[in-house]
Structure 1
């Protein structure tokens, strides 16, 4: 039931009497008489009427402030200090203090029942295997590559720009969208070799990225030793140009699905 001021509840009951305890008619008449107020429905008026019959016309909120010298506060705080893992049910059984009172005291003093986070156990052998994998994959045979877009106007992330003020400062920055241009640059690293950069003509898509892998990449890898090239893996993320069917088909044929 919504919190309505006492005077509005009394007006609802008076209108309900005029309507001979017809809740629907009372709700409609209340809207006509008080158009600028919140308009309760028939269920709300019925609830208020039943509460009034029980002597609860106005709901009074109870204050649960606990003084620091209250023995219950000392007992509850001592219990969680001695055993932070204790449950409210255990405290209720051990102290005789009602569980609802225990929870109110803990909330009043800023305590929150945080839950444990489960993590996969790491053994000594796991650390050795990770180190072995890093020495094999990340340093020698995986070709890590990516593209970056460079614009003549620069990039501005408005999320990182703040202007604290008590009034709106109308903070502006001029941008020249009409004469904007950009270039897409590809680069990679493998076994200590820096490959590239290679500049794409226009946006990167599946067609020109496939043509780059087929026609340009072999020439860029000329300076990489043959031993590395025969064993290298190509790392690509899942952006559309990298995941295009024409790109995957070529890589699977050229590099045996690796």
Structure 2
């Protein structure tokens, strides 16, 4: 009924009574005025007649708007003042102090004040000399990017990570509601199973995974001998099928990475292009925010690996291998673009932590 004017409503009512209250005859009588396809349906006409006979009016009544009580101007001002005094306070505690429901408090924060909940960014603590070393590396990488904008696509960055079998129970957030204490105990394994995986990352894709394990498939500690074996027997054959012209290799400063045998092999494979302690360019310690495997790959994998709750290390390894195989080069390229942004941000921060606007989102 809202699509017709009041005059049209009056015309419909007149024709309805002129045609002895016949809906069919009324609709036919309306055709000269509204056309065959422009008239109302029988149900609309029936509702209009019922409305007229009940209220003696054909006016379009506005939909009543429910008045807001919790989100009043006074409550909005109170929430605004509360946020200004303590922006870190939780919604439940804030709502309790202001005598509001949590839902109303959330709506005021988001819809009326336009605020957003931001998480604290956790970063690794920098030691006394770290800023200088990070600045030196960032200056060097930035200069290389100035000389060749595609420099970031010519680096293979590498790292290892542990994937544990057991989930964890946060007893601070776990509550059991009952009228008596059930004295429930959650047993945890003293030494839970894990897999240790190595990957290489570059603009063309992900190299790996390689699992450090013994003959029976159990995870082993990464030492210099095992790392050198991986470089020789796993990484080396892959490099044979890659164009290594102008290609750099990066690794962190773990002791197993910088053993004489390993460094010698890397220098032979990447002559003059090894980024590592005892390499051609020093890699700054405690710089996981500059490694795509730390700021992207490991988090990306761990968000998927445990989705189906693997019950064995074999299932865990499958859950690691499959997502890696699905990562496309275009995604790796975007990650490397973010890496170059991080390098420039490190230059601007003079080796310190950079602003969170360069965090990579998939």
TM-score range, shorter chain: 0.3 to 0.5
Say which structure, 1 or 2, has more relative contact order (CA 8 Å, 6+ apart).
Answer: 2
Q: Which of the two has higher C-alpha Rg?
A: 1
TM-score of the superposition, structure 2-length normalised?
0.29
Give the alignment's TM-score, normalised by structure 1: 0.39
